Structure 1
Amino acid sequence: MNRITRTHALSALALAAGLCAALPAAAQHASPGVTGSEKNTLSLYGRVDLGVGRIAKDLTVNEDVLTSVRDSSTGRWGIRGTRELAYGLTGLFNLEHRFKADEGTQDGTVYWKDKAFVGVAHPVWGTVTLGRQSSPMDNRGVNGRFEAFGGDSLGSNGDRGAKMVAKWDNSVYWQSPVINGFSVGAAKAFKEKATAIRSNVAGVQGEYVQGPVAVSLTWQTDASTTDDWTTTSLGASYDLGVAKLMAVYARSEDQGANDDGQTQVFTLGSQIPAGPGQIRISLQQYKDNAALGDARKQKYSVGYQLPLDKNTTLNLSLADQNYKKAAVDNSALQYEAAVRYNF
């Protein structure tokens, strides 16, 4: 590590230590499993992912498209670490910032937008984390492993979780160890401000991953200052060798005063090894009922991911997208070529 990189790493570590000390006593999500090889570690990581292409401005308004350079997936940098503790425990933390690399701006108003948590892990009792974190459905239920484009690039389908809320503040998350391919998790977020969610939210997730098969079932509640809703999802994938098949179904139901409104999303995809890279195919059907305006969306995508080295990929995407609601019926054919660098 050169002197500049070492200086940045030490500065980031000092910042992380200060922030972790200030984290509330209740809040975050389970990290990937901690193993012996991952103890006493500290690492910086991130991504810059930019593409150029023909992109629809807003199909809910019109069919206007423009050629532009934009983030193919949101830029990020983070710092994470683990440390061996007493009683068989491992301490861990993770902070991750999001930014828009096309303009060099922060993504949203929250600095640690993706995550900011601290926790402890035990090989028998599992992992408990506190802070800002992914909700159970975003964390393991409908995440990129069940979507052909991995949740990134123009070809991806970001609505696959229906109305679920992706990030929970002031939450606690427990994730079990994996036993014979099975694992479970549970999380709860707490109301701490009058202007925040008007009721506590919670969720549970269970999955089975063994060999070529992965199945995940998730249920969670979400809330705003005026509304409550629940979302249930089922994600699955099967690797045939010649192709990997994947699907996600999610359904959100309103639980507010009128108890109306329902949103359903079905996403189907495949990843097919081809030459040095991978062909990706995805389709998505989205609809809500009349209580929510009776909107319908369809998106059909095909793409190719070409690895350039272990950190860099070229990602090509072609997407045909349609939006219908009342008298609105807009469609656009879009394409993008993007370079993604992970570090």
Structure 2
Amino acid sequence: MSRFWSQIVHELSPYVAGEQPKFGNLIKLNTNENPYGPSPLVLKAIAAETTDSLRLYPDPTALQLRATIARSYGLDESNVFVGNGSDEVLAHTFQALLKHDAPLLFPDITYSFYPTYCRLYGIDFDEIALDDIMSVRTSDYRRNCGAIILPNPNAPTGTALPLSEIEKLLIEHPDQVVVIDEAYVDFGAESAIPLVRNYPNLLVVQTLSKSRGLAGLRVGFAVGESSLIEALNRVKDSFNSYPLDRLAIVGAIAAWQDTVWFEESRNNIMATRNRLALSMRGLGFEVLPSSANFLFVHHPACSAKEIFTQLRTKAILVRHLPGERTNDYLRISIGTDSECAKLISALQTILGS
């Protein structure tokens, strides 16, 4: 606390990121990173860009990257916005599109940055409770609101809505922006991007951190009707005209274009996820159905906090999310087959004792 702080700083409850340990020899299953790393083409592209050109500013519009993403969906680059990770894209979205007289709606168990952004930007919000099986009911969103934001799949639960339910929301709220946060969509859910052509109130946000293995490069993007994208650009250019550096731009383009690596990596992760879920159910865990690169699990006979603590003593990091409805759950990122086998072995020891 300091007498020099602005008043808003006193009122903030900042987002708490997953632990990034300062030492090695850990099995790190706590921050939903890709266990396989980026495409080799990404490393080649970054190496080729590491020249005297780094003295020059990057393209402030990242036009080549935006065009690359747009072409893959049959859209125009004016339909794509890029930023320094999807967190920055979301931050600009909250400021540009989600602050209205009526409250913003989002789930009560969801990405914990949402209420943080609301408090930072002075946005009124209502949290809509997930149902008894930790799923979003779109019928619960049939109420007065200024806008809606939903992660699909949801985080930290991993459950996903079918595209038909997303379309219902768009039809029922034609005068409100509906933002679908698709950080984990590539691991088994349906993307809402094909709906952008028909619904001017839809904005879809994605990231290259998870399925493309670029968490360390920080690249995210949004797809929507051009007027929504213009709003994001107005905020961005009032904040930082150069959110993506030269290395991030060329690396992201290479990652997006290497569809063979992308398919192989995500298929491996989904197969490992399904095997891990089966093994954990065999140990007595209740495992929510997941369309993400993580599992949300609960053991009826052992506290999540105790399991988290015991795993940490065995150099295995998972995520425990304290909260009224999440305190009994662990979120476990999908690692390699070897890492997941070691996790199961450690859990057998913990539960056996």
Q: TM-score, normalized by length of structure 2?
A: 0.26
Higher percent of residues as strand = 1
Higher percent of residues as helix = 2
Structure of greater relative contact order (alpha carbons < 8 Å, 6+ residues apart): 2
